[in-house]
Amino acid sequence: MRTSPNIIITGTPGVGKTTHCEQLASSTGLTHLNVNKVVKERDCEDGFDDELNSVIVDEDKLLDAIEPDLEAGGQIIDWHACDMFPQSLIDLVVVIRCNSTILYDRLKGRGYSDKKLDENMDAEIMEVLLQEARDSYDEEIVVELQSDDLDQIDENLERIQTWIENWKKDHAD
Ligand code: DAT
């Protein structure tokens, strides 16, 4: 049995996943599991999508690489997809959302190509990640949080921290 929960922080690129994960890891002692890094470090790449200018991930290999960590618990998973993780190992799915005008500026600032920018903007407007989360996990564990400004980050972090404390109390023996 896990004594610390596993949480997915997901959402369209640029919404603020890494910002949330880093701050949560430092305030709670949970581990920031940056999937982008794991993919590179554990050789889970399965080619390159030239059109989207992004790595194609071998999801089976990735899951094999992180499953022991998920079984141990206390992982904050930072990834722009969420449907590949086994339901039994996930306790909370946070879908970070962002106003499209703000997101556009953030992605433009990252130097994304027009195609990559359009794809990501469409994904946010069409709520692709929110739908993926709702399709993949029980409704009760999926939470949608807005991240347009710094105050919202603080509010979100407080909510998630309180949730973690309560989870730990509920699962203490
Ligand atoms: P992601 O990990 O989802 O790609 P990020 O955490 O790297 O996103 O954030 C992208 C950029 O936007 C980064 O420069 C930090 C900034 N940012 C994120 N959330 C924000 C917020 N709520 N208010 C202001 N800036 C934010």
Question: Contact 107/13 with Cβ under 8 angstroms?
Answer: yes
Model pLDDT, residue 54:
83
Question: Contact 98/52 with Cβ under 8 angstroms?
Answer: no
Model pLDDT, residue 66:
97
Q: Which domain holds residue 79?
A: 7-161
Query: Is residue 171 included in any domain, yes or no?
Result: no
Query: Is residue 168 included in any domain, yes or no?
Result: no
Cα 153 to averaged position of ligand 1 atoms, centre (Å) = 9
Ligand 1 contact, 99 CB (< 6 A)? no
ipTM, interface predicted TM-score of the complex: 0.99
Ligand 1 contact, 152 CB (< 6 A)? yes
CATH value at residue 106: 3.40.50.300
pLDDT band at 93 (very low <50, low <70, confident <90, very high): very high
The residue with tokens 């999937």 is 35
Query: Is residue 64 included in any domain, yes or no?
Result: yes
pLDDT band at 50 (very low <50, low <70, confident <90, very high): confident
What is the average pLDDT across 15-44?
A: 97
Ligand 1 contact, 125 CB (< 6 A)? no
**Ordered alpha helix ranges (H), 5-149:** 17-28, 35-41, 59-72, 100-109, 114-125, 128-136
| Beta bridge partner(s), residue 48 | 55
pLDDT at 173 > cutoff 80: no
**What is the percent of the chain where pLDDT is above 90?**
93
Query: Is residue 173 included in any domain, yes or no?
Result: no
Which of ligand 1's atoms lies nearest the C-alpha of 20? 6
Query: Is residue 170 included in any domain, yes or no?
Result: no
How many domains does the chain fold into? 1
